[in-house]
Amino acid sequence: MEGWKEFLEERGRLHLLRRLSPSEDRRPGVAVRGGREYVDFSSNDYLGLSCHPALAAAAREALERYGTGTGASRLMSGDLEIHHELEEEVAAFKGTDAALVFNSGYQANTGIVPALFGRHDAVFADQLSHASQLDGALLSRAKLLRFRHNDPEHLSALLEKHRGAFRRALVMTESVFSMDGDRAPLVPLLDACRRHRCLFMVDEAHATGVFGPEGRGCVEAEGLAGEVELVMGTFSKALGGFGAYLAASRTIVDFLVNSARSFIYSTALPAPVIAADLAALRLCQAGETRGAELLRRSASFRGALRANGWTVGGDSQIVPVVVGGSARAVALSGQLADRGYLALPVRPPTVPEGAARLRFSLTAAHGDSQVRGVVEALGAP
């Protein structure tokens, strides 16, 4: 079509400038690219479970039994007992009546919000909420209002002003922010929800497996298990697998089975994926994962970077070094790559203009010498 190629090339030059760079091999903490092995500080495989023998064995066994695909969505013939087994264990893990598995975190957030909220409702979202939460709100056609990042007082002021104009309302946040690594003040946010009759939705994608006893997440760590109406999380990060969950009441889960379009109109996750997710959850429950230790090591990594003069954010295993412009972030990332460390730059529009960063995620697979090595390789600003 006339003009489209030029239009897309121009847009690409202005906004994206990003290229896919496949690894020929990977394992926790390691990526092999162009024949070179890098220490990978850009993966969310926080507990190093993606290659754990228990997950691999469970996946292999499910593969033998059920094959590679499920052949249909869950409301058709793709529903397997193992999906229900996982959902029961998630509900017990998160302290709710029920849980529902979604095919990914993106599909969970874009399915849940539009199923529960519509044109006459409002969604109040943290300014730094993940794109999937925002897309869910946009799809719902509810009025979207953004409160200042981690600012319950601003949320309260917005609720004071706008809540009355809407039938129902949702407040949503991440518990550990994916790009900033900081944590949401869940107690005061929940308090604002209660005062203004809002449901509360917390995305625990980056907290699941790492925070709270046995990695149950920040909602549990802050004593709120069973109190937050919608607790969503993923199996794809610390749990080393794939897919996502919503932990909620039985009423909400039953409703979503019949109304969340991303759940209804997508083929069920394959059994080997579900079996690996279950195995990871069981490792957490058996106390065999090391979230607390990872957080201690992340704090000392953050301290070492700050001592060298860097602007470092966060309060989790995600350690952003904010460097300003995109070009500087790209240059620093290149410098680290030359020394064998993969810490990829995160640039606008993923983060605000002027806040480009190197996003380090520390994992249980990184050795102390690798952590010291990357601090030394980054040097001082």
Ligand X SMILES: Cc1ncc(COP(=O)(O)O)c(C=O)c1O
Active-site residues: which are they? 44, 130, 174, 178, 203, 206, 237
Between 174 and 182, CB nearer to ligand X: 174
SS3 label, residue 136 = helix
For ligand X, the closer of residues 130 and 357 by Cβ is 130
| Nearby residues of 347 by Cβ (< 8 Å), 6 or more positions away | 326, 329, 330, 356
Q: Which positions lie near ligand X, rule CB under 6 A? A: 104-106, 109, 130, 132, 174, 178, 203, 205-206, 234, 236, 244
Query: Least distance (Å) from ligand X to the CB of residue 109?
Result: 6
CA separation for the pair 15, 10 (Å, rounded): 9
What phi and psi, each to the nearest 5 degrees, are found at residue 42? -115, 10
Residue 367's closest CA among 39, 107, 96, 85?
A: 39
Asked if 295 contacts 317 with a C-beta cutoff of 8 angstroms, the reply is: yes
Phi, psi torsion values for 256, nearest 5 degrees: -65, -35
Smallest distance from ligand X to CB 242, Å: 7
Minimum distance between the CB of residue 104 and ligand X, rounded to whole angstroms?
3
Residue whose CB is less far from ligand X, 243 or 291: 243
Three-state secondary-structure class, residue 23 = coil
Nearer to ligand X, 146 or 162 (CB): 146
| Chain residue whose CB lies nearest ligand X | 105
User: Cβ of residue 108: shortest distance to ligand X, in angstroms?
Assistant: 7
> Which is closer to ligand X, CB of 358 or CB of 375?
358
Amino acid at 266: S
Shortest Cβ distance from residue 87 to ligand X (Å)?
A: 16
Residue (of 277, 257, 243) closest to 76 by Cα position: 257
Among 168, 229, 238, 164, residue whose Cα is nearest residue 201: 229
